[in-house]
């Protein structure tokens, strides 16, 4: 079985790959492996996932082996079908710079503005905190 460590070792053994390409391959590997683990945990086969997504088994196989680009929409659809939850964490120099997931916000800590501005196809609201503002759409 390939693990993060030996996949990273494999990527580093290819001198032609740039750091950007290695980072891309590592992210693809991690996401597709996590999906495969979620499928195993939920009992889904690739055929069942393909049927639920309305895609061919070959299409799903290409997504999961990293040869086909997976959009965030497709990732969201897979997440929905599997009944799993995706959490994205973006860090910079070891510090989490991600916005909190709306479901994880303790609304009792914040003053929520009643001014809701509706824009075409988007709904914006603002949550005020003592030292920062979170805007969501």
Residue-wise pLDDT tens digits, 98-107? 876 665 555 5
Tell me the C-alpha distance between 110 and 129, whole Å.
5
Tell me the C-alpha distance between 137 and 126, whole Å.
9
Between β-strands 117-119 and 122-128, what pairing exists: parallel, antiparallel or unpaired? antiparallel
Residue-wise pLDDT tens digits, 59-94? 999 999 989 999 999 999 999 999 999 888 888 888
Closest CA to 63 of 39, 88, 90: 39
Lowest mean pLDDT among 23-32, 36-45, 73-82, 128-137: 128-137
């Amino acid at each position: 079985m390939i693990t993060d460590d030996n996949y990273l070792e494999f990527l580093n053994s290819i001198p032609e790959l740039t750091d950007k390409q290695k980072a891309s391959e590592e992210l693809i590997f991690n996401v597709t492996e996590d999906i495969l683990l979620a499928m195993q945990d939920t009992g889904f086969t690739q055929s069942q996932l393909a049927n639920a997504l309305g895609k061919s088994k070959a299409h799903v196989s290409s997504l999961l082996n990293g040869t086909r680009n997976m959009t965030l929409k497709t990732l969201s659809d897979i997440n929905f079908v599997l009944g799993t939850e995706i959490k994205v964490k973006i860090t910079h120099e070891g510090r989490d710079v991600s916005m909190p997931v709306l479901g994880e916000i303790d609304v009792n800590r914040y003053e929520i503005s009643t001014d809701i501005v509706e824009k075409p196809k988007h709904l914006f609201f603002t949550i005020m905190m003592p030292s920062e503002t979170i805007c969501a759409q």
